[in-house]
Amino acid sequence: MSEEKKPVFYPNREFAKQARIKNMCEYHDLMNWAKEDYEGYWDHWAKEKIDWFEPYTQVLDESNAPFYKWFVGGKLNVSYQCIDRHLEVRKNKAAIIFEGDRGDKQIITYLELYRNVNRFANLLKNKFGVKKGDRVVLYMPMIPEAAYAMLACARLGAIHSVVFGGFSAEALRDRIIDAEAKVVITADGAFRKDKPYMLKPVVDTALEEGCDCVEKVLVVQRNHEDVVWIEGRDYSYNELIDLDSDNCEPEAMESEDPLFLLYTSGSTGKPKGVQHAQAGYILWAQMTMEWVFDVKENDTYWCTADIGWITGHTYIVYGPLAMGATTVMFEGVPTYPDAGRAWKMVEEYKINQFYTAPTAIRVLHKMGEHEPEKYDLSSLKVLGTVGEPIDPPAWKWYYEKIGGGRCSIVDTWWQTETGGHMISPLPGATPIKPGCATFPLPGIMAEVIDRDGNPLETGEQGLLCITKPWPSMIRTIWNDPDRFVKSYFGDAKKDGKPVYFSGDGAIVDEDGYITITGRVDDVINVSGHRMGTAEIEAAIKKHPHVAEVAVVGKPDEIKGESIFAYVVLKDVEDSFGEEAELAKEINQVIAKEIGNIAKCDTIKVVPGLPKTRSGKVMRRILRAIAKGEEIKQDISTLEDPSIVARIQTCVIG
């Protein structure tokens, strides 16, 4: 990709001296240990990091690959790992610092967290009969009660499935039904940009059809707007919570019992319920917090994600609390009341580690290039990015203006399925090349290979695979083990054995650095959020005038990628000239079926799609046309080669 050698930025020396991993020698030592004695390596960390109720008898069971099992026979409780075990030394330490959209604040100590989670668990158990293995769907704003709810489920051994608040009633319903949830936890709504917005009405709509599994709905009253209450189904958290005792025995969970489901988009079909297990997940959540962010006892750490995504699970709730850190939770948006809000919070709370998405950095840069100068950001030590590649201008601004040229930027590559970071710089050790996720973390066997497991030539793109199972990996797709095997273990092999393929392409440079080039499947990445083209296409097809549709990603300066749809109408003659009106309608359908986050930025009516003779849509051509590129590939294999020029005319106008 790049012709000239990329500049290298070395970790700050003073920082490196006190970091957990201090230099590349230490990194290589750990990595070599893992390579020489994989199970011994993980055994060491599992014993050191987890407070086991009962020890495990086997580190890794590969007998039913790719359904790998870790720490077999061990018993633990994740909420105990995140709360109880800290009480002796940290009961008065802030566990969660919450800032509301309107500037309201709460500091929740570990002891208070203990009480709140125990009460919450007792409420779910005693009032709603929630028990081990039950599924609980959360449709929540970014408020501390969302974290309490997750941890309360973990305490009881119930499996939570958090659905991002930006998803529509239909999308929520699909997830509730697929998980067969017994309870839904939501809020009346919350605040955004000083205005109340609503969630409970969305739950009401979702439950109108096909959700007989749901017995109870628990509503946290946050914005105190009026909502409909259904007698016998809906309960107010605020009214019930004080009635329960603040002592609830943590359930002794098997290492491999499911901890949570989180639905994510794939290249085909409906969203997949990614299933994570107890022990392996919490182990790696905690270890990566310690290694990648290097959070110290007195530090304040802030991740701006939403708990509806894996980043919020692992790096707002589970990882920070497992290590006993102070985690900041923010209800609002970083651009309100102005583009200095985030930096104001950094100054106010003396944030030491800040973790966000490149899209947010680009927006804050664009809207408030000089805002950071107004605040004291000297507390910052480590800056993180996640979700998409970071481009050089955004990186430079982040490094210089936010990090003052003194902070390491950790560009963390991972996925919903990996549970935690896989490829990332270590802030005290790794010489950083901007825009590059650098090296696999110690113990993670990430490799860029071809389908047969051969390494590629330097600079050549290959498949980003993880060639050995790791503790925090996806265990299966809920209700669909076949799809799990096909989706992740069907594309690449090493030494004849199927290996995990991420769906991303990557390049290794002459120094062994890994640069992620993006999805090689039909998944697009909008503002660091994963969207399946198949899902969006299925939604668009529900519009009565649409005969055929193809959705592709188009590079976007702010969002990374924007959503571009080509639609073929059933009755072309009639609907021409009303493109804008039609686009609006189509986006309304998408908002209803999936949510506003999946709305298309561009919708073009075209006379047909470029298909091969076997009927396969050539998305590569559509991506090139969306970009305004010249078509270089051979189009003679198309059923109708003339369609390309006709589509181009429609797009260019």
Name residues contacting ligand WT7, limited to 527-566 (CB under 6 A): 528, 530
Q: State yes or no: residue 264 binds ligand WT7 (CB under 6 A).
A: yes
User: Per rule CB under 6 A, is residue 389 in the interface with ligand WT7?
Assistant: yes
- Could you report how far apart the first and last alpha carbons of the chain are, in Å? 32
Q: Is 412 a residue that touches ligand WT7 (CB under 6 A)?
A: yes
Residues 6 or more apart in contact with residue 488 via CB below 8 angstroms: 66, 417, 474, 500, 501
Starting at the earlier edge strand, list the strands of the sheet with 602-605: 546-556, 560-569, 602-605
Q: Would you say the C-alpha torsion 277, 283, 284, 285 has a positive or negative sign?
A: positive
If the CB atoms of residues 256 and 411 are measured against ligand WT7, the closer one turns out to be: 411
CB 316 within 8 A of CB 355: no
**Is 546 known as a binding-site position?**
yes
- Does 433 help bind ligand WT7 (rule: CB under 6 A)? no
Cβ-based nearer residue to ligand WT7, 157 or 389? 389
Stretch of 8-16, 150-158, 251-259, 412-420 lying at the interface with ligand WT7 (CB under 6 A)? 412-420
Contact stretch for ligand WT7 (CB under 6 A) within 91-99, 295-303, 514-522, 619-627: 514-522
Closest CA to 148 of 184, 189, 105, 112: 112
Minimum CB separation of residue 322 from ligand WT7 in Å reads: 18
Return the residue matching tokens 């105990």.
80
Select the residue interacting with ligand WT7 from 12, 311, 408, 562 (CB under 6 A).
311
Distance CA 320, CA 329 (A): 11
> DSSP for 428-454?
TTPPB-TT--BSBPTT--EEEE-TTSP
Kindly write down the DSSP assignment for every residue of 114-172, as one continuous string. HHHHHHHHHIIIIIH---TT-EEEEE--SSHHHHHHHHHHHHHT-EEEE--TTB-HHHH
* Total binding residues toward ligand WT7, as defined by CB under 6 A: 23
Could you tell me the CA-to-CA distances from 9 to 422, 424, 640 in Å, in that order?
Answer: 21, 14, 51
Considering the complex, state which of residue 340 and residue 435 has its C-beta at the smaller distance from ligand WT7.
435
Q: Which of 130, 282, 386, 449 binds ligand WT7 (CB under 6 A)?
A: 386
Q: Rounded to whole angstroms, how far apart are CA atoms 108 and 94? A: 6
Smallest distance, ligand WT7 to C-beta of residue 415, A: 4
| Contact between 415 and ligand WT7 per CB under 6 A | yes
Residue with tokens 């054995």: 497
Report whether 533 belongs to an annotated binding site. Answer: no
Among 353, 525, 527, 533, binds ligand WT7 (CB under 6 A): 525
Nearer to ligand WT7, 95 or 292 (CB): 292
516 binds ligand WT7 (CB under 6 A): yes
Exposure string for 309-338, b = 16+ CB within 10 A, e = fewer = bbbbbbbbbbbbbbbbbbbbbbbbebbeee
Those residues whose C-beta lies under 8 Å from the C-beta of residue 300, and which sit 6 or more positions away, are 94, 97, 326, 328, 349, 350, 351, 352, 379
Residue 60 or 292 with smaller CB distance to ligand WT7? 292
Please, which residue, 217 or 423, has the CB nearer to ligand WT7? 423
Interatomic CA distance for residues 493 and 453, integer angstroms: 5
Spell out, one character per residue from 470 to 509, where the chain touches ligand WT7: x when CB under 6 A holds, - when not.
--------------------------------xxx-----
Q: Among 361-369, 397-405, 411-419, 602-610, which window interacts with ligand WT7 (CB under 6 A)?
A: 411-419
Q: Near ligand WT7 by CB under 6 A, which window of 281-289, 333-341, 385-393, 573-581?
A: 385-393
Residue of the chain from 324, 334, 387, 425 that contacts ligand WT7 (CB under 6 A): 387
Residue with smaller CB distance to ligand WT7, 66 or 435: 435
Can residue 414 be called a binding residue for ligand WT7 (CB under 6 A)? yes
How is residue 563 written in tokens? Answer: 């959503």
3-state secondary structure of 61: strand
Q: Tell me whether residue 179 or residue 310 sits nearer to ligand WT7 (CB atom).
A: 310
Angle of helix 110-122 relative to helix 144-156, nearest 10 degrees, comes to 60
Burial of 541 (0-12, 13-18, 19+ CB in 10 A): middle
Q: Is 389 annotated as a binding residue?
A: yes
359 in Cβ contact with 528 (< 8 Å)? yes
- How many Å apart are CA 164 and CA 308, to the nearest integer? 4
411 forms part of the interface with ligand WT7 (CB under 6 A):
yes
Q: Which is nearer to ligand WT7, 241 or 464 (CB)?
A: 464
For position 316 contacting ligand WT7 by CB under 6 A, the verdict is no
Contact between 306 and ligand WT7 per CB under 6 A:
no
- Single out the segment in contact with ligand WT7 by CB under 6 A; choices: 108-116, 250-258, 335-343, 512-520: 512-520
Q: Please give the full DSSP string across 482-549, using - where no structure is assigned.
A: HHHHHHHHSSEEETTEEEEEEEEEEEE-TTS-EEEEEESSSEEEETTEEEEHHHHHHHHTTSTTEEEE
State in angstroms the smallest separation of the CB of 264 from ligand WT7: 5
Q: Annotated binding residues for Mg(2+), as ranges?
A: 543, 546
State the residues that interact with ligand WT7 by CB under 6 A.
Answer: 264, 310-311, 386-389, 411-416, 437, 502-504, 516, 518-519, 525, 528, 530
For the annotated binding site, the residues are 192-195, 311, 387-389, 411-416, 504, 519, 527, 530, 543, 546
Q: Which residues are annotated as a binding site for ATP?
A: 387-389, 411-416, 504, 519, 530
| Binding residue numbers for CoA | 192-195, 311, 527
